Structure 1
C-alpha cells in the first residue's frame, strides 16, 4: 500500500473512532436527563410492547386527569397531594409549591417529577391546560374515553 494512502486511511479511522466515541459519551451523559412521558396506566402496568416500567428515582413526566375529591392540602405548608387517573389505575402526585391558577379537580394536567414509589411521583412542576379547547396530544390520547364531571360552582356565591 502506498504510504500516502496508508496515512489517509489511518487519519480517517482515527476521525471515525473519535467521532463515534464523542457521540457515545454524549448519549450516555444525556440518558439520565431524558424525561419520558407516562400516563398513570403506563406507569403502573408498563409502557410499550415490552411493558417497560420506570425505575424508582427516575425523572419523568406524567399526565392525566385530577380525580375529583382527591386533592389534599396541608394547612401549614404548600404541600399538596392529589390523585391522577387516565382510563386505568390511579397514581398519587405529591407537590410542594403553588399550583397553577387553572389547576382544578377533574381537569387534565402534566406533572414533572421523580418516581419515589411504584405509584407515587414527587413533582417539582405541575402544568395545567390553559383553556377548555387545548390539551397536550399525549394527555388527550391518555384520557380518551374518560368521563368526568366538572366541579360544580355555587351560583349563590356573594348573594
Structure 2
C-alpha cells in the first residue's frame, strides 16, 4: 500500500511540474535585469557505479537572481523554468545558462499574473520540438524508474 502511495506522490509531483511548465508558456512578460548568474559544481558518490559506467558524477546548481517590476512593485526571481530546480548534469549547459543570463543583462521575465512573484526566464515556448519530446521522455523515464523500484522492492524484499 505504501508503494502505491509513493508512486502516486511522485506521479502527482511530475504532473504538477508538467502543468506548470505548460502554463508558464502563457504567462505575462515584462523586462527584467539580471542581478546574478553563477553555478556551483557538486560531486556525488555512487557506490553502485560499475566499470564503464559513464553516468555523470557531478551536478551543477545554477544560481540566478533577476529583478523585475509588475504594476510598480519590485520582485526578485530565481527560477530558470517554472516548477523545476535550477540543476543540470553537464557543465557546458550550466556555462551556457550563466553566459546567456550574465549579470547586468536585460531579460524577458515570464510571470504569473495571478501571482506576480511566481516567475521564470524560460518556458516551453522557448524549447523546440526535440526539447519537448526529450522532456516528456525524461518524465516517463523517471516514472518508470520509480515504478520499477517499487515493483522490485515488493517482489524481492
User: Does TM, normalized by the shorter one, top 0.5?
Assistant: no
TM-score (norm 1): 0.26
TM-score (norm 2): 0.26
Structure with greater helix share of residues: 2
Q: Which one scores higher on RCO, CA 8 angstroms, separation ≥ 6?
A: 2
